[in-house]
Amino acid sequence: MQRTPRTLASLGLAALLACAGTAQADDIKEALEEALKAYNQGDMSGTKENLGYATQLLNEKSADALTKALPAPLPGWEADEAQSSSAGAALFGGGLQASRTYNKDDHYIEVEIVGDSPMLSQMMVVMTNPALAGSMGKSVKIGKQRGIQDENGKIMLIINNRFMVSVEGDAEQADKLAYAEAVKLEALNEL
């Protein structure tokens, strides 16, 4: 059976429809169905618009999922509500972001996870090159992950060549290290 580009596009959109999860699934599914309908009618502009909307919804869902990797407050600490966002390509090169601030007495720590951003590839080049990494700070090991601690105590880790975790604040370095160790790496592996 010969496959036409239209048939292949229809199959691809059908596969995306099947992958849409439960959260926001109706909106995602609807946008994908509208994209397929527009494509079948030869409306390329409508197809792009609806695919873009579906992509944005999927990115928002993924950004929300990033918050699951943020640690719970450690003993004696309180935490603000986790924040997440997905930036379009025009803003910071795109990508996903989740963060949470933790407070104890007059001190704070912020844990931030950034994912799927083109800017990460630049950071990975720096962090994997010993000469360049040394100029950013000293090497640290958090669990099985290697990272960098800068002169201000900020800790940066690259996870699975896809996510960057940063831990910073005005709290003691031991507390920052504890929060870096408490990031739920298994949640990142599932994304």
DSSP-derived 3-state class of residue 82: coil
Q: Which residue has the higher pLDDT, 62 or 138?
A: 138
Q: What is the pLDDT of residues 38-53, one digit of tens each?
A: 999 999 999 999 999 9
Specify the CATH number for the domain of residue 125. Answer: 3.30.200
Residues 104 and 153 in one domain: yes
Number of domains in the chain: 2
Q: Tell whether the model's pLDDT for residue 178 goes beyond 80.
A: yes
Ordered alpha helix ranges (H), 41-165: 44-66, 118-128, 130-136
> Quick one: pLDDT at residue 11?
47
Residue whose structure tokens are 């036409």: 4
Residues 138 and 101 in one domain: yes
Residues 97 and 31 in one domain: no
Q: What is the pLDDT of residues 15-45, one digit of tens each?
A: 554 444 444 568 999 999 999 999 999 999 9
Q: What is the mean pLDDT of the chain?
A: 82
Residues 22 and 39 in one domain: yes
Residues 154 and 87 in one domain: yes
